[in-house]
Structure 1
Amino acid sequence: MRKALSATLALVAAGFASAAQAQVSDKPPSSYSPVVTTEPFATILSRMQAEKPAVMRRQFDLLNERYDLANRAAAGVTMARGKPVQDGVRVKLPAGQSWDRLGAMRPEEIRDRDQFPKGFLPLPHPNHPEGGMVFPKFHIDEIKRQEARDLTRFDLDFDLPDHLLPEFPAPIFLTTRPDLGDVAQGKLLTIDNFFELFNGVLNPKQLEGLRLLLTPFPQQQFNQTEDRRSERPSRGVTCFDCHANGHTNASTHLVGDIRPQPFRHRIDTPSLRGVNIQRLFGSQRALKSIEDFTEFEQRAAYFDGDPVTATKKGVNVLERGSQVHFMAEFQALLDFPPAPKLNVMGRLDRSKANESELRGEAIFFGKGQCAACHAPPYYTDNLMHNLRVERFYKPQTVNGRMAAADGPIKTFPLRGIKDSPPYLHDGRLLTLDDTVEFFNLVLELKLTQPEKTDLLAFLRAL
C-alpha cells in the first residue's frame, strides 16, 4: 500500500514538474529582460567564454560570405587626419551576376530568383541573440591604457576589420573655434585629458558637459551586478566610448525600441559632427532634440530600452536643467571636417573641383535623385524615409537576425561622409562604392559605371 502510494505521489510530482516545464517553455513573449539572474556568475563566464570561438567563427563566416574584406585603399583619398579611404565595391554578387544585369532586373524578379546580394541584407550583430555594446579593439586598448577601465567582453568581440572603420583618434573641429583645427591634437579624448585639452577653449558649462560625456556610468553589459559581460565588475561606459572624440569609432549595439530580439536592428554608431543642425534622434527618431537624446541614452538606451533592469544595474538620472543642457551644449559645438572644394552654400566651387566631381554633382542633383533627401548645405532633410528594401528579398533569419522590413530610416548628413564608414544605419555597406551600388539598385536608377564613378568622386569631396 505504501509503495503504491509512494509511486502515485511520484507520478503526481512528475506531472507537476512536467507542467511547470511546459509553462516555462510555453510562456508568452515578454517585453522585459529577466531581472533575476538564475546562474552563478562564474558559470555564465565559463559557459560564454567556451562558446565565444564558435560565435565569432559564425559571424566571420557570414562576413566573408558577404564581403571582400581586403585592405585596399583608394589612391590619394584620405580622411581628415590622413587614414586611407577604402576603395571598391566590397559586397559580393551572386554567382554569374553583374551589377549592370542586376540593375536591369525588376525588384520582384530579383526577389523571386534570390539574386539580391547578401551584403545588402540587414547586418546581424556579432552575436544577435545576445546583443549589447561591442567596441573595436583599438578603442578598448586606449581606454585601458589611459583609464585602466576594461571594455573587453568575455563573450564576443567586434567583428569588422580596422581598415574599414573611421580613423582613430578622430580629429575634433569646433564651430566656435575653427581657427584651432583639430582641438584634440591627435589624442583620444578621455576623462584623464579633457581639462588639459579644453580649459581656456570652452566655457564652464561646456567643460562640465564634456566631463559628463566622458564619465563612465553603468550600462547593460558593463555594470557592477552579476548580470554583465565584463569579467570584472565595471564602472560602465561613457557617451564618447561609442562617439569617440565626438565622432564615431563604429562601435555597435542593438536598438532598444524593437521587440522581439530577432527584429532588433544593429546600430552603426552615427557621428555627432554637425549634430546642431539635426532635428531627429534615437533609432526610431522619436526624440526631437539633442537634450532629449542625451537624457534618453542614460535612462533607457544604455539598458536595451528596459527601465526595470536599469534600476537594478545603476541608472544615471541626469538633471535636465543643468547636466543635460551642459552635455547638449558641448555636442552642439562639434563641427564637420573642412571641405575645401565646397562654397558657402555647400555646392562645389568650380574653380577647385575637377571634372569628375562636377559631373558627379550633376548626377547627385539629377539622375541620381540623391538631393531629394540629402539637400545642401549639410546634405540632409532631417526626415525619415522608407526605402522598402524588403521588396527585393524574401524574409529570412540570418545568424539570429530576422531580415524582414527596416521601416523608415533617418536621412543622415553627408558632409564629411568619407570619414564615417561603414554606411547605412546598421553598417551593412562597407564603402561609399557599396553605398552607390546599393542606392542605384534600391532606387532603380540605372546609373552607368562612369556615372557611378563620378558620383563617388562628388561624395568624397563633401
Structure 2
Amino acid sequence: MAGKSLTRMAATIAMLAGAALTMAATTESFSDLVKRLQNEKPTYAKRQADLLGQRYDLANRPAAGVAMSDGKAVQASVRVRLPNGVSWDQLAALTPDEIRQRDLWPAGFYPLPHPHHEAGGMVFPQPTIDETKRQTQRDLARFDMDYDLPQHMLPQFPAPIYLTTRPDLGDVSKGQLVTLANFHALFKDALNPKQLEGLRLLVTPFPQQQFNATEDRRALTANQGVACFDCHTNGHTNAATHTVGDIRPNEHRHRIDTPSLRGVNVQRLFGSQRALKTVEDFTEFEQRAAYFDGDPSTAALKGVNPLERGSQVHFMAEFQALLDFPPAPKLDVFGKLIPAKASESELRGEAIFNGKGKCAVCHSGPYFTDNSMHNLMVERFFKPRMINGRLASADGPIKTFTLRGIKDSPPYLHDDRLMTLDDTVEFFNLVLGTRLSVDEKKDLVAFLYTL
C-alpha cells in the first residue's frame, strides 16, 4: 500500500510541475489577454455568422399546432440550403460518389464548427447566462465569444422536469430554472435525502477550463465554475456547446451537442466517444477530465474536485436516473401509436419509420434506441475540407440517441448541424439511401412529433 501511495504522490507532483511550467511560460497578463481576445472577438463572430447564413435559413418559422412539452413552438421545414440547381429529389437519386465528385453535399450537412473552433470550450446561450446570474450571482458569460444559434432554434428554457417516481406531479420545476438557490424548496417533498443530495451536487459549480479562478480563464471575474445542470438545464438541455476533450489534434475535435438527461436510466453508453458504460462512470469522468479538455495537469492548478464514488457520484447518478421523458399521450406502453388518437399522417409516418425509412433499425423499442454505436460514413459524400478551424472528415461511430421527446431537443445530430426534424429526415434520406417522397418525409416528421 505504501508503494502505491508513493507512486500516486510522485505522479501528482509530476503533474503539478508540468502544469506549473505551462503556466510559467504564459507571460501575458490577464488584462492583456482580455484586451487581445475581445479585439479578436468580432472577427470570429462574423466568420461564424457568415457560415451559418450560408448554410441555413434561421428565420423564426414555427410548425403549425406543434409545441414542445411545455409550450415553446417547434421550428418547421427544411433549413439547410441546397446547392444551386439541384433539388432534394435529384440529390437523392445520385450515388454518394457522384455527390462527392460534383461537390453537391449540402453545406449544412458538413460538421458544424464551434463558435470559435480554434479556442473551443463551453459556451452558453444568453437566457442561461442571465437567469443563472440573477439567481446565483454567478456569471457564465465569456469575454472572448458568444453563443452562435438563435434562441428560437433551441430547446425550451427553462425546461420542465418529469420524475419517474412522481409522474402525478407533472413539471416539478414549476417553470423555474433549478439552481443551488432554489433546488431544496422545489424538491424537498418529492425526493429522499440521498436523491436531494445528488441534486445538490448537480447544481453545485466546480472549476472548469474556461470558468475558474486562474488568470487564463475566459470569464471576466474569478469564477466558482460550472455545474452539471448549467448545460443539462433542469436535467434536459439548453443546447450549450463545447468541444470534445478526447480527440486530437484540435481541428478534428467535434463540436458537442449537449444531450438531454431525460431517460438516462434506459441508456447504456456515455461520453463523447461512448466509452463509458454507466452514468456513474460518466459523472466521475466529467469532473476529472472532461471539464478540463482531458488535461489533468491543467485541472490540478484550476481546482479539480474529485468526487467520492460511494457518497457523491452514486447520489448524483440516482437523481439522474429519476429524470423521465415528457408525456407522449399518443403512444402505448410499447411505443406504438394508439390508432384512435393518431392522425392518418402520423400513422403513415409510423409505418415509414418502421419500414422504408429504416429508422427503427437503430431507433427501436419503446425508447427508440438500440443502445449501440453506428458509423454513418458520411465522408462518402464529400472531400475533406477545413471549415472555420474544423476539418470536415470522418466522424466515426456515433451513439444511437433515444428519440423519445425528440421535438424538445433541437438542434440535432451530435454536433448541432441539423436545425429541425425536417433537416434530419433529409439528411438520413441521403445517408441511408431511402429515397422517400415529399409526402413520405412529411408523414415521417409528423410521427416524430408524437414521440
Question: Does TM, scored on the shorter chain, surpass 0.5?
Answer: yes
* Selected match of 1:146 from 110, 130, 135: 135
Tell me the residue number matched to 1:318.
307
* Selected match of 2:254 from 253, 256, 265: 265
1:88-146 residue CA offsets vs partner (Å, 9 max, x unmatched): 00000001111000000110100010000000000000000000000000100000100
Local SS of the residue matching 1:234: coil
Structure 2 residue 195 is the aligned partner of structure 1 residue 206: yes
Local SS of the residue matching 2:242: strand
Structure 2 residue 98 is the aligned partner of structure 1 residue 109: yes
CA-atom RMSD in angstroms:
1.2
- Is the CA contact (8 Å cut-off) linking 1:116 and 1:393 kept in structure 2? yes
Local SS of the residue matching 1:77: strand
Distance 2:28 2:317 in 1: 40
- Closer, same or farther: CA 315–347 of 1 in aligned 2, 3 Å: same
Local SS of the residue matching 2:64: strand
Tell me the residue number matched to 2:4.
none
Tell me the residue number matched to 1:339.
328
Distance 1:129 1:288 in 2: 30
Structure 2 residue 64 is the aligned partner of structure 1 residue 75: yes
Tell me the residue number matched to 1:237.
226
1:155-188 residue CA offsets vs partner (Å, 9 max, x unmatched): 0000000000000010000000000000000000
Tell me the residue number matched to 1:21.
none
Tell me the residue number matched to 2:177.
188
Structure 2 residue 162 is the aligned partner of structure 1 residue 163: no
For structure 2, the residue ranges without an aligned partner over 5 or more in a row are 1-17
Distance 1:55 1:145 in 2: 28
Local SS of the residue matching 1:85: strand
The count of corresponding residues between Structure 1 and Structure 2 is 432
Tell me the residue number matched to 2:345.
356
Distance 1:376 1:251 in 2: 29
Local SS of the residue matching 1:363: helix
- Is the CA contact (8 Å cut-off) linking 1:246 and 1:272 kept in structure 2? yes
Letter matched to residue 171 of structure 2: D
* Displacement of 1:34: 4.5
Distance 1:34 1:66 in 2: 39
1:415-435 residue CA offsets vs partner (Å, 9 max, x unmatched): 000000000000000000000
- Closer, same or farther: CA 279–456 of 1 in aligned 2, 3 Å: same
Tell me the residue number matched to 2:266.
277
Distance 1:440 1:308 in 2: 45
Tell me the residue number matched to 2:75.
86
Tell me the residue number matched to 1:293.
282
Normalising by structure 2, we get a TM-score of 0.95
For structure 1, the residue ranges without an aligned partner over 5 or more in a row are 1-29
Matches within 5 A, 1:15-30: none
Q: Once the two structures are aligned, what percentage of the paired residues are identical?
A: 71
Distance 2:179 2:415 in 1: 26
* Displacement of 1:38: 2.7
* Selected match of 1:420 from 382, 394, 409: 409
- Is the CA contact (8 Å cut-off) linking 1:35 and 1:308 kept in structure 2? no
Letter matched to residue 262 of structure 2: R
Local SS of the residue matching 2:99: helix
Tell me the residue number matched to 1:447.
436
Distance 1:392 1:41 in 2: 44
Distance 1:141 1:95 in 2: 41
* Selected match of 1:429 from 399, 418, 439: 418
- Is the CA contact (8 Å cut-off) linking 1:347 and 1:376 kept in structure 2? no
Tell me the residue number matched to 2:55.
66
1:356-400 residue CA offsets vs partner (Å, 9 max, x unmatched): 000000000000010010002000000000000000000000000
